[in-house]
A and B are shown apart, each in its own frame.
Chain A
C-alpha cells in the first residue's frame, strides 16, 4: 500500500486565520513556524518484518509581542481554529514573563532572497516495497561473513515534509522536502570471543536514490574489521580521527562558535575572541548548510533568515560566530541563518566543511597511517558524546571504536576511551589523510592529532 498523501500547509489560509485571531486578541505583532510531515519506516529481524511504522505529524510554534514589546511563545500540534486560538492565548500569557533585557525581533533578512536548493522531490514508495528492500539488504549483509549473525539495529525510512515561516509583516517562507534514510548496524561474534558491532548510514532525497550497496559494504567492512581485536595499553598516542568522528567532536564543541553560548557565558569563546588563534594555522572550519552534500538542507532558519555559508575558523583564526537575530543585534552584525525559534532563540550549526585553509602551509597533506614509524590509533567512531563532552569546560573523555596501526598492520581495539581538551587538540593537529568525505554531518578528511590520551584495558 502507498502511504496517504502528505498533509499540506496553506500559508495564505494560515496567515489569514492568525491575523484574524490576533486582531481579536489585540495582538499586533506575531510570527510562526509550522511544519507537517508524513513518515513511513520499516525494521526487519532475520528476514521478517520487525516493525512497520507510519506517522502524520503537524506542529506550529507561535510567537507574539505584547503591548510592552515582550515576547511569549506556545507550541501545539493542534492546527484547528480552536487550537490556534488557544496557542495565541498561551503565547500572550507567556509574554507577561518575557525578558525585557533581551527581546527578539523579526529578522531583517526574513524577506531577503533565498538561495535556490537542488532538492528533487520523490514520490513515497509503498511500505511493503520498503520492507522487501530492507529484507534484501539485511540478507546481503548477513551473507557477507559467517560471524555476522544479526543486524540488530536497522531501518529504512522515508519522509515527505513541509516547513513554513510567516510573520505579521508579510514574510512568508515555505519549503517542501522529501528524504530517505537507511541504517544497518551489524553484530558479529566468533566462538570464544566477544561480540563486536558496527554499521553504516546513508541519506538521500528518495529511497530510489539511496546507496544501498555502499551501505551494506561499509557496514560489513567495518564490522568484520573489528572481529580480530586486542586490548590497547594506556598511554599517549598519535590519533587519526575518521571524518565522522572528527565532525562529531567539533559538533559537540560547537558552542565555541555560538554567539548565544558566548552571551550566556557558557562558551569557551568570549565576545572579543574573534581574531584569536584557536587552532593550527592551516585549519579551516566553515559552516555551509547549502552544500549539495547536505541532504535535507534548510533554505532558511527558524526566524526566516536565509541559510548562508560562514567561515568560522580560517587559517586557525576564529573569524565569525553563528547568530540569531537577537545575538546578531547584540554583536552589531547581520543574522547568519542559524536560529531556532523561541522567546529565547537558540542558535546551532548546520553542516561543517573542515579541511586545510587554501594557501596555508605547515600542515602535512597526504599522510598515510600505514607508512608511519610509530603506533597510531585510528578513531573510527565516538560514543556517548552527551555524557563525555564538557563543552563549557573544553574537556572530553569518550569511548571509541577503532584500530591500532603499527608495523604496517591494523588490529581492532577491544575497548578504550580517548580524552583531552578541545583547545589543545585543535593546536595539536598534524595534518590530513585522504580526500574529504561527505557525511551526514559535514565534509571532512581523516584528521591526524598528536599526543592524545588513550585508556585501554591491556
Chain B
C-alpha cells in the first residue's frame, strides 16, 4: 500500500520555501510524488508479464525574473530536499543563507483533493482479478477473430499521490488514478498481414476494470482487423477526407492543440502566437480543452501546479480565443493560467499541456459528411501521429476506406495524412453531431501524460494522403 502525502509535510516544506525566498528567489515551488504502478500483459491465453513498480521523488523549481532552475531527486529526506533546493538556487546564481525570510508568509490551508480518494488503490481490482479479466479479453479475441497470429491484452494501473507547495502560499494535495486496457491483434493469411489495436482508459474510477466489456471490445478489434487483412494500399494524392469521431480527434490534438500551448509561444514555434481574436479555422470549428469531464483520461482535480482545471474554449466558430497556460507560460507570455500545468512526474518541470481536447459537435449527421464527397478517404481509426517544429503534422490511418460517389466502398491501408496546421484548419468544413472522446497518451516537453482526444465526424475539404 503506497502512502499518500498529508499535512505533516507542511513545516518541512515551509522551511524550504522560506530558505529559497531568503536566498532571493521570486518564487519556489515543490512538487512531491509517490507512485504505484501495475502492468499486466496477456498473450494468447497466458499471463506473460506482471510488472509492479513504485517510486517517489521531488521536483523543486525556483524562479528569478523569467528564468527558472529545476532539480529533481528520489531522496525525500531533509538533506536530499535541501541539496536539491541549493542546486536549483545555484542555477540562478543564488546562495542559501541562514537569514530568515520576511518575503514568505507561510502556506495557506491545504486544499485537499485527496480526502475522498484515500481508499482508491484498495478498491482497484486485485492482481488476480486483473489477470482473469485480461485473459477473458484474449479469449474473446480468439472467439471472434480468424487468422489471428498473435493476441495481446494489456492492463495498466497508475496511482499517484502528489503534494504541491509554493512560496505564493499554494498548498494542495491530490490522488490520481488512471487505468487503461488494450487489445491488440496481428492477423496473417498468406502474404496478407494486418495488425491493430484499441485502447480504453479512464481516470478516478477504481471499479473500471470490472465494468469493461471484454466481449464487445474483442468483437470491435476482430471486425476491424478482419476487414483490413485483405485491404489494398491506398493511392497517394490530394483528396477530401472524413475523419471518424473519438480517436479521430488526434488530428486536432497534434495539428492545432500543441500550437495553442504557451510552451510553443515561448519557443516561437506556433504560427498562431499573435492571432488571438482572429480567424484561424473554418467557422464550423469550435474547439475546447478542459479537465472536468467525469472519468475522462485527461481530467484532473488540480493541475501539477495546484490549480483547479477549467473549461477553456480555444477556438470559437473559427476564431482563436485563448492559449493553454501554466505558471511559466503566464510569466513569459502573459497568457493567464488555465489549470493546464502538467508533468509526467517529479523529474519534469510542469508545462502547459492539453487535458481533454475536442472539437465540438456540429449540426450534421456522419452520413451527410460522407455523402458530400465524390472521391476521398474515410479514416475510421487513426494510428497516431506527430507535429514538427514548424507546424507540419502527420497521422497514420489505421483503418481507412475509400469514399466513392458519397458511399464507403473498399478498405485501404498504408495511408498517412500530412499537412500544416495553418492550412488544414480552414479546410475543416463540416462537423457532425456525434462527439465522442477517446483516451490516449501525449508525449512532449514535460513527459508522457494522460489525455483525451475527441471530435465528432469531421470533413476536411482537401488533405495530402501519403500512400503507395
Mark A residues whose CB is within 8 Å of B. 1, 3-4, 45, 48-59, 72-79, 86-87, 90-91, 93-94, 97-99, 101-102, 127-128, 149-150, 152-153, 185, 187, 194-197, 234, 264-266, 342-344, 383-384, 386-388, 390, 392-395, 397-399, 415-417, 419-420, 453, 455, 457
Q: Is the CB of A49 within 8 A of B70?
A: no
Q: Can you name 6 A-B pairs with beta carbons within 8 Å? A: A49-B67, A57-B72, A76-B53, A90-B54, A386-B386, A399-B418
- Interface residue B389 (Cβ < 8 Å from any Cβ of A): yes
Given contacts A56-B72, A455-B467, A266 and B186 within 8 Å (CB-CB): yes
Whether A52 contacts B70 in the complex (CB less than 8 A), given A343-B51, A419-B466, comes out as yes
| B362 interface hit (Cβ, 8 Å) | no
A417 to B, closest residue via Cβ:
B466
A342 partner, pick from B49, B69, B73, B74, beta carbons under 8 A: B49
CB distance B347 to A73 under 8 Å? no
- In contact, A195 and B48 (Cβ under 8 angstroms): no
Apart from A54-B72, A194-B420: 20 A-B pairs, beta carbons within 8 A: A52-B70, A52-B92, A53-B349, A55-B72, A55-B347, A56-B84, A58-B74, A74-B51, A75-B52, A77-B56, A77-B74, A87-B54, A97-B50, A98-B50, A149-B268, A234-B236, A387-B416, A388-B416, A399-B466, A419-B468
- In the complex the two chains form, is B195's CB within 8 Å of A4's CB? no
Q: Which residues of B contact A234 (CB under 8 A)?
A: 236-237
- A residues within 8 A CB of B40? 97
In the complex, A342→B48 CA distance in Å? 10
What is the interface of chain B, defined by CB distance below 8 A to chain A?
40-41, 43, 46-57, 66-75, 80, 83-84, 87-88, 90-93, 127-128, 131, 149-150, 186, 193-195, 233, 236-238, 266-269, 271, 347, 349, 383-386, 388-392, 394-396, 413-416, 418-420, 464-468
A residues in contact with B413, CB < 8 Å = 395
Report A10 CB to chain B, min CB distance, Å.
Answer: 16
Task: Determine whether the beta carbon of A399 is less than 8 Å from that of B394.
Answer: yes
A397 with B67: in contact, given A152-B389, A187-B390 (CB under 8 Å)?
no
Contact B54 A86 (CB under 8 A): yes
Q: Which residues of B contact A72 (CB under 8 A)?
A: 50
**Are B47 and A99 neighbours in the complex by a CB distance under 8 Å?**
yes
Q: Majority SS of interface residues in chain B?
A: strand
CB distance from A354 to the nearest CB of B (A): 25
In the complex, A314 Cα to B359 Cα: how many Å?
52
Q: Which residues of B contact A393 (CB under 8 A)?
A: 186, 193-195
Please, how many angstroms separate the alpha-carbon atoms of A91 and B377 in the complex? Answer: 49
A384: chain B residues at CB < 8 Å are 384-386, 394, 396
Evaluate whether A417 and B418 lie within 8 angstroms (CB atoms) in the complex, with A102-B48, A383-B386, A387-B394 already known.
Answer: yes
In the complex, how many angstroms separate the beta carbon of A346 from the nearest chain B beta carbon? 9
A1 and B394 in contact (CB under 8 A), knowing A395-B414, A419-B466? Answer: no
B416-A399 in contact (CB<8A): yes
Closest approach, in angstroms, between the C-beta of B33 and any C-beta of chain A? 10
Q: Are B394 and A417 in contact (CB under 8 A)?
A: yes
Q: Is the CB of B71 within 8 A of A54?
A: yes
Shortest beta-carbon distance from B410 to chain A in Å: 17
Contacts A397-B467, A419-B468: A387 and B414 contacting too (C-beta < 8 A)?
no
Q: Is the CB of B390 within 8 A of A194?
A: yes
B196's nearest neighbour on chain A, judged by CB, is A390
In the bound complex, residues from chain B placing their C-beta under 8 Å from that of A79 are 74
Query: Residues of B contacting A73 with CB < 8 Å?
Result: 50-52
User: Are A4 and B83 in contact (CB-based, < 8 A)?
Assistant: yes
With A51-B68, A194-B420, A387-B395 known to touch, is A76 a contact of B47 (CB < 8 Å)?
Answer: no
When the two chains form the complex, which single residue of A55, A78, A127, A453 contacts B236, counting CB atoms closer than 8 Å?
A453
Output the residue of A3, A90, A150 with the most chain B CB within 10 A: A90
Nearest 3 Cβ contacts at the A-B interface:
A417-B466, A1-B90, A455-B236
Q: Give bound CA distance, A3 to B466, whole Å.
A: 48
On whether A344 and B74 interact (CB within 8 A), knowing A3-B87, A419-B466, the answer reads no
Chain B residues closer than 8 Å to A390, beta-carbon distance: 195
Specify which of A74, A149, A392, A457 lies most central, judged by the most chain B CB atoms within 10 Å of its CB: A392
